[in-house]
A and B are shown apart, each in its own frame.
Chain A
Amino acid sequence: MTHWILIPLQSVVILVAVLLSTGVLLYGLLKIHSRIMNRVGPMYAGRFHGVGQPIAEFLKPIQKEDIVPTLADAPVFRLAPLIALVPAFLVFAVIPIAPGIVGANIDLGLFYVLAISALSAIAIVMAAYGSASKFTLVGGLRAVGQIIAYELPIVLGAVSVAMLAGSLSLTKIVEAQNVPFAIWPFPFGAIAFGMFMVASFAEVMWNPFDMPAAESEIVTGPYTEYSGMRFIFFYMSEFAHVVALSALATILFLGGWKGPILPPVLWFLIKVVAFGVFFIWVRFTMPRLREDQLQKLAWKLLIPLGLVNVLGIAVIKVVFG
């Protein structure tokens, strides 16, 4: 039984850690995509190669005017950013970064993560509808369609891993991977990994599944009417999602904290950073898929593949024990 004071303490620590990691991801994003584009990125903020840029990005919108459009549905409009942000942070309560270092070691860790991260869809609909604009409506519907379509590949990928590991608890899944850079039995592990990675791009709405937001014709999609702090909430929730999915991917597929010489926490961080870099790399390399093409990809390719994968794993488990 842990002392009751540890619970708020742990929450604060996790919150600070997530905020820091969001900032680091933002800095990494700015620098890496600048290099991909053959330029240098922020160099002045914070005096050394722009390290102060994430702080600046956070501080600037705080002091902006709070604008709510006249025709907008004010309560819905105001609530949407919070509903986007809070679940993205709640996910981190169950992510284990080292054996024993985890916020809440619950048996249903994987289930909790997938359920909570699905709440962001509601926030998008609220933002799209509450903004009272045709552009946001179009963007919001696209976003929700995309997220719902790609929920299933993520779930199926995670469920495949859970079946192979035999548990929904994230700590136990990591422990079940007995090789440092885990290799689940081929081809089930590879298929699950591929599906999970593709679907996680769609969940955070980054290229190549960028269609709802940052689209050339609907400006920022559902977030068009948001400015200042509210926009930063959406932005932060997107980055927190990326970090969460990277962490989940390392836990499910890459062995979590396992590794030869270095301490486990460092291995975990290295793997998460590797996934983050991968996310950024693909975002600035691929063009966008049109929304009907990405829906086809989800419904006609990924979901049947996932179902076949789960079926195959079930057969293997029953036959070989």
Chain B
Amino acid sequence: MSLEAPAETSPLAPLATELRATLGDAILEISENWGHLIVRVPPDKRPETLAVLKALGFDFYNFACGVDWPDENELEVFDNVYATKTQARVTVKCRVPRDDPKVPTATGVYGGSDWHEREAWELFGIVFVGHPRLRRLLLADWQEGFPMRKDEVLRARVEKPWPGEFFEA
């Protein structure tokens, strides 16, 4: 999906130019999508980009999530931040290879990314390097695998032979 860079008249254009000025080569792509800005950066630049955005007034940390792209053999990490004063929204995206998904953590920049990164780790397997305590948030201890990856089948849709599944507690 290719998106276009912000037009000259768009209210996000000054923001885009400022980001390009501050981050320079770190940015792979800036595009505008439905009134929001999407900034694509290499994974090791994620905390830096978020720090720059925070300094620019993006004080509200919305969420972080992962996306699985099996065709391209990559996992993607999103961060969605919002500026309360200017009502601007930016999504920061990073892609990592599926067999070695390591992304530096953003907990140093936004404290709220703590739980979101834990969730992304347990659902997708993305390792956030430098996270204070990366451990399970939503899944139970006995659950294995990374459920949200596309190759993990939703258990409810798979027929089980009799007598079904049961646990030895």
Direct contact of A and B (CB under 8 A): no
